[in-house]
């Protein structure tokens, strides 16, 4: 649930960059607290004796351990849904060369995730079992802190996408429009659903959403409203209209 909340906050309010930085700091704090919980004698339960008689953890030890897990969960909720999408924002979808770079980025992205999972389930588990929990948790904590510093170092070079409002509201607007216009006949030519050319969408920094054959229920929502104006309408005046759902408009001056 936390990644859903993190994605919503990033899209509606803070943006991906700020959300990721704040969540990363929270993540580091949680990892540091978890490392302390397994390292300090006062915060970890005593070892089991030879008879497998394990003393029960105190309320303080339970509290610190679960507090660290909850803090990590909050940090994960802000980092996981935003770092990959922010990486995708660095590539222009309308440039063929950058589009190919974007595909390469996701290939290396998933490779690093799977390699990190393999590393954590083998090497780190070995360190925790044979060397100690302090080093076993200290290494990923140190790696996380270094990665955040490296990410901050590249701040001047990033492309930042501003918050665009609640995605839930826009999604609901599409379904409401589809229900209201369900009797409307959708044109056979998909080009009639978009007033602007793809180059004009690129200049405004918006992606044109093409008609889909899988969810045909939403296709009527693409068909623009007929907006009548007393004076000649300009596209910029309609851009922020509450009735506009997508980057689709139809202006008809009287």
User: What's the Cα-to-Cα distance from 190 to each of 97, 162, 213, 223, 239, rounded to whole Å?
Assistant: 26, 29, 11, 10, 21
Ranges of each domain in the chain: 1-47+56-157
Specify the pTM. 0.71
Three-class secondary structure of residue 105 per DSSP: helix
d(CA 90, CA 242): 29
pLDDT means per 10 residues, the chain with 254 residues, are 89 90 96 93 81 80 94 94 90 84 91 92 91 92 95 92 77 76 68 63 62 58 44 41 43 32
d(CA 212, CA 65): 48
Three-class secondary structure of residue 252 per DSSP: strand
Query: pLDDT tens for residues 195-247?
Result: 566 666 666 656 666 666 665 555 555 555 443 333 344 434 444 444 444 44
């Amino acid at each position: 649930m936390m990644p859903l909340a993190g994605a919503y906050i990033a899209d509606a309010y803070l943006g991906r960059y700020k959300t990721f930085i704040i969540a990363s700091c929270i993540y580091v704090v949680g990892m540091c607290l978890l490392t302390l919980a397994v390292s300090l004698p006062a915060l970890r339960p005593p070892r089991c004796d030879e008879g497998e008689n394990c003393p029960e953890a105190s309320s303080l030890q339970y509290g610190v351990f679960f507090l660290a897990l909850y803090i990590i969960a909050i940090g994960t909720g802000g980092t996981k849904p935003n770092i990959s999408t922010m990486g995708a924002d660095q590539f222009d979808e309308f440039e063929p060369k950058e589009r190919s770079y974007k595909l390469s980025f996701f290939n290396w992205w998933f490779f690093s995730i799977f390699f990190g999972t393999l590393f954590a389930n083998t090497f780190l588990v070995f360190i925790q079992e044979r060397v100690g929990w302090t080093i076993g948790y200290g290494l990923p904590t140190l790696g996380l802190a270094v990665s955040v510093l490296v990410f901050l170092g590249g701040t001047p070079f990033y492309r930042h996408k501003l918050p665009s409002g609640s995605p839930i509201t826009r999604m609901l607007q599409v379904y409401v429009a589809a229900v209201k216009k369900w009797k409307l006949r959708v044109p056979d030519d998909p080009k009639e659903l978009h007033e602007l050319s793809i180059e004009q969408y690129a200049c405004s920094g918006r992606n044109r959403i093409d008609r889909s054959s899988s969810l045909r229920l939403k296709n009527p929502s693409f068909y623009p409203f007929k907006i009548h104006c007393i004076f000649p309408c300009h596209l910029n005046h309609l851009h922020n209209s509450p009735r506009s759902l997508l980057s689709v408009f139809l202006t008809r001056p009287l």
